[in-house]
Amino acid sequence: MTEITPAFENQVLDILAEVCESDEVKNEPDIRLFEEGLMDSFATIALLVEVGERMGIDVPISDFNRNQWATPNMIIQQLADRK
């Protein structure tokens, strides 16, 4: 597993909070984003576009899997692994 710095974590959470239109993701990093209705197919694409533009991490949409990108913590880890 790649080491995750607090700055990296905060940057991902900031983007996630914007995409989900909710700060809940910052307070509850294990919340199931799709099951709770915080993310949908549109938000998924918006997230990948934002992390590409703001963090320089390009994730092909074909790599996205809702089971592996289900919570804020899982998303942080997935992105850290691709840094």
Partner 1 sequence: MLNILRQIERWADQTPDQVCYVWRQERLTYGELKQKSDALSCWIDEVFGSDRAPILIHGHMHPNMIVLFLACIKSGHAYIPVDLSVPADRISMILEDSATQLVFSERPMLFPECTQKVVGFDQLNNMIAKYPNQRVSDDRAVNGEDVLYIIYTSGSTGRPKGVQIPHESLESFVSWMNQDFGLENRQTFMNQAPYSFDLSVMSLYPSLTMGGTLWAIDKDMIAQPAELVESLKKSDINIWVSTPSFAEICLMLPSFSQEILPDLHTFLFCGETLPVQVAENLQNHFPNAAIVNTYGPTESTVAVTSIQIKKDMLVNHLALPVGRCKSDCRILILDSDGHSVPEGEKGEIVICGPSVGKGYLNDPEKTNAAFGKVDGQRSYHTKDLGSLRNGLLYYHGRMDRQIKIHGFRMELEEIEHVLSSCSYVKQAAVLPIKKGETYDHLLGVVVAGTHSFEKSYQLSSAIRKEMSRYLPSYMLPRKFVYHASLPMTTNGKVDRKALLKEAVR
Name the nearest CA neighbour of 36 among 52, 20, 49, 50.
20
Please list every residue from 48 through 77 that binds partner 1, using CB under 8 A. 49, 60-66
| Cβ closest to partner 1, residue 49 vs residue 80 | 49
Please list every residue from 6 through 45 that binds partner 1, using CB under 8 A. 20-24, 27-28, 31, 34, 36-38, 40-42, 45
- 43: its two tokens: 């938000």
Contact in structure between 52 and 39 (CB atoms under 8 Å): no
Contact in structure between 73 and 6 (CB atoms under 8 Å): no
Q: Which residues bind partner 1 (CB under 8 A)?
A: 20-24, 27-28, 31, 34, 36-38, 40-42, 45, 49, 60-66
